[in-house]
Structure 1
Amino acid sequence: MNVSVRDVAALAGVSVGTVSNVMNRPDKVSPETVTRVQAAIDQLGFVRNDAARQLRAGRSRSIGLVVLDVRNPFFTDLARGAEDRAAHDGFAVLLGNSDESHAREAAYLDLFEEQRVHGLLITPLGDAIPRLERLRERGTPTVLVDRQAENRDFSSVAVDDVAGGHLAVEHLLATGRRRIAFVGGPDSIRQVVDRLSGARRAVAEVEGATLEVLDTRALTVDQGRDVGREILDRSPADRPEAIFAANDLLAVGVMQALMMLATVRIPEDIALIGYDDIAFAAAAVIPLSSIRQPSALIGHTAVDLLMREAEGADGADFEHEHVVFQPELVVRASTASD
């Protein structure tokens, strides 16, 4: 037998509206009434028809989050921050992993729109802005995450990746290294482009310094290993003196490859720094220097911005917000100076 809200109200001795408030706005109901209504729900085995409710409300109590690679601990920490903040307001976060694929990203955008999510948080791959503009025009508020909004038409929260790339290579140069290599790609990922831009700027500031770019197809440990093996195949004179990897996963892969034959010493022969400062960076065989991003805070802030977008985006005087955190250099054994 299907149990309705009216059945719950009758058993609890309250109105249907009070039952609705208990389920959606419990702060508006006395604790005693909440307890009584919840007891009736439990006794009757009532399950809310959330699909029907969201049809009436126009939106669900879910937030869509699309990230580039859920295997990267940076994004799992970011998602945790978003989840903690969303739960505070009674929302759930639905996580989608684009896996650096335009097709998968588009599929998640379609799915989340069909589900009438309350709003969307996304780390877009390439130029997804036209698609996101159409999504927003049809009623889904959107915030860019780990990506600054170039046209300022979307609220965004990110880290200054140009500054982060500059900070990483500036540190390598300060240790006396001059032949620097940047490992990262593809260039469809804006964060990679920005980190490389910062690296180039730092090299340009030091006479005699050079920067070699070693492209990868993805930001993964496997791709890092491939680059590390390629470097091992070179003569010592042709190897870089220091490597800046676009994220920690790449850096870990490079480290694993360089240590495989025990012919290259880190940092004596090649210094190595990553980006993100994931938990594993400090626990690596040789603790990895990295550029720290406040991953959980980025997720938390993104939900804050989304809630304000959902409440005020229709107002004529609404202004999108742009939060940019500054990166932090974390020095460990992988870049110790001679």
Structure 2
Amino acid sequence: MAVSIRDVATRAGVSVGTVSNVLNRPDEVSAESVSRVTQAIEELGYVRNDAARKLRAGVSTTVGFVVLDGQNPFFNDVVRGAEDEATKHGIAILYGNTDEDHGRERLYLDLFEEQQVRGLLIAPYGDVTGRLRRLRERGIACVLVDRFSGDGKFSSVSIDSVAGGRMAAEHLIACGRRRIAFVGGPFDIRQVNDRLAGARAAAENAHVPVSVEVVATEAMTVAEGVAAGARIISRPPTAWPDALFAANDLIALGLLQSLIVDGRMLVPDRIAIIGFDDIPFAAAAAVPLSSIRQPSRMIGRTALRIVLEETADPYSIPRQTVFPPELVVRRSTAG
């Protein structure tokens, strides 16, 4: 059975208030009382519940972080950036992976609300504006991660995914590709829509005819990329695209795996592939993968700083931090 502060007071022969003062304001207590309480703590093996103390004081030492896909190295790096920054402030990160599931997302939001976390970082699946508004009303600052807040009601840290999609397609067009297939989904994810919109804008503004078709996936995983690649390969060769733009690197790696195993659609001679995120596996692929780089750790660090600033000043105006994307060219497009 856990030893309570009341047990310590009984052993030391003092009041509970005196024990509390010894723990929190020892300079206000006589030396004799400090000695008696300290001795009682040692004899009983009392362990102070610091988390509960800080919650009662209205200051938690934890920040919740909800991500779309815990298997994606991009989000692992974003969380790592937030953890690096949190450590500087004595903050711990509580992490939840929704796996692109609305039910799991609600579960983690419920949990972090019950835990009265100091703040919440979230890469949302779908629209969670109403729920985040409720959390903020309860004193929990919320910051969107890898998602631009279009209405400006919450602070956000992201890159310009539309610009990134345009950059990827412009690179493919500059490499001489004219039949681009955008591979990604689900389209409940805002980033997928933005990257496709950027690619379509690049095609419309090109000085040559360029088509952009959509090959939808059910998730942003390697397995979905493999399946999409198999569907593309099953077409007659005359119907093959000459370039693939994947909504993220995991899908791109799955596509690459399908094409290499089949052996007919050589990369990049017959078809070019570009991904998005520039995860570490991209450079190490059998055919090194071109990608659109996001500053993942900087995104996490920046989001953590903002949530702490908004906790300190609940009346601060939400701000949108948007990092520029960067094109990283490797063999999968450059030959």
CA distance in 2, matches of 1:195, 1:144: 18
3-state SS, counterpart of residue 69 of structure 1: coil
Q: Which residue of 2 aligns with 1:319?
A: 317
Change (3 A) 1:264 1:89: same
CA distance in 1, matches of 2:24, 2:217: 53
Normalised to the residue count of structure 1, the TM-score between the two structures is 0.87
Contact 2:144/2:157, CA 8 A, preserved across alignment: yes
Normalised to the residue count of structure 2, the TM-score between the two structures is 0.88
Q: Which residue of 1 aligns with 2:253?
A: 252
Change (3 A) 1:269 1:135: same
Q: Which residue of 2 aligns with 1:243?
A: 244
Give the 5 Å matches for 1:118-157: 118-157=118-157
Change (3 A) 1:21 1:151: farther
Q: 1:79-127 CA distances to partner (integer Å, 9 max, x unpaired)?
A: 0000111111001000000110111101100000000100100011111
3-state SS, counterpart of residue 277 of structure 2: coil
CA distance in 2, matches of 1:154, 1:181: 34
CA deviation after TM superposition for structure 1 residue 55, in Å: 3.8
CA distance in 1, matches of 2:101, 2:209: 39
3-state SS, counterpart of residue 265 of structure 2: coil
Contact 2:8/2:41, CA 8 A, preserved across alignment: no
Work out whether 1:167 is the aligned partner of 2:167: yes
Q: Which residue of 1 aligns with 2:307?
A: 306
Change (3 A) 1:231 1:90: same
Work out whether 1:333 is the aligned partner of 2:331: yes
- Give the AA of the match of 1:215: A
Q: 1:163-206 CA distances to partner (integer Å, 9 max, x unpaired)?
A: 00001010000000100010001111000010001000011112
Radius of gyration: which is bigger? Answer: 2
CA deviation after TM superposition for structure 1 residue 3, in Å: 6.8
Contact 2:282/2:288, CA 8 A, preserved across alignment: yes
Q: Which residue of 2 aligns with 1:56?
A: 56
CA distance in 2, matches of 1:266, 1:172: 13
Q: Which residue of 2 aligns with 1:220?
A: 221
CA distance in 2, matches of 1:195, 1:48: 50
Contact 2:51/2:61, CA 8 A, preserved across alignment: no
Contact 1:5/1:16, CA 8 A, preserved across alignment: no
Q: Which residue of 2 aligns with 1:205?
A: 205
Give the 5 Å matches for 1:276-291: 276-291=277-292
Q: Which residue of 2 aligns with 1:100?
A: 100
Query: Identity percentage over the alignment?
Result: 54
3-state SS, counterpart of residue 183 of structure 1: strand
User: Which 10-residue stretch deviates more, 51-60 or 276-285?
Assistant: 51-60
Change (3 A) 1:179 1:119: same
Contact 2:63/2:120, CA 8 A, preserved across alignment: yes
User: Which 10-residue stretch deviates more, 43-52 or 121-130?
Assistant: 43-52
3-state SS, counterpart of residue 321 of structure 2: strand
CA deviation after TM superposition for structure 1 residue 262, in Å: 1.4
Specify every segment of 5 or more residues in structure 1 that has no aligned partner in the other structure, as ranges.
23-39
Q: Which residue of 2 aligns with 1:89?
A: 89
3-state SS, counterpart of residue 142 of structure 1: strand
How many equivalent residue pairs? 316
Contact 1:161/1:198, CA 8 A, preserved across alignment: yes
User: Which 10-residue stretch deviates more, 57-66 or 208-217?
Assistant: 57-66
Contact 1:85/1:303, CA 8 A, preserved across alignment: yes
3-state SS, counterpart of residue 276 of structure 2: coil
CA distance in 1, matches of 2:50, 2:125: 31
CA distance in 2, matches of 1:176, 1:21: 72
CA distance in 2, matches of 1:5, 1:21: 17
CA RMSD of aligned residues (A): 2.5
Q: 1:14-61 CA distances to partner (integer Å, 9 max, x unpaired)?
A: x96685489xxxxxxxxxxxxxxxxx9999855331453144122421
- Give the AA of the match of 1:82: A
Contact 2:148/2:320, CA 8 A, preserved across alignment: yes
Specify every segment of 5 or more residues in structure 2 that has no aligned partner in the other structure, as ranges.
13-18, 27-39
Contact 2:180/2:213, CA 8 A, preserved across alignment: yes
- Give the AA of the match of 1:121: L
Contact 2:3/2:45, CA 8 A, preserved across alignment: no
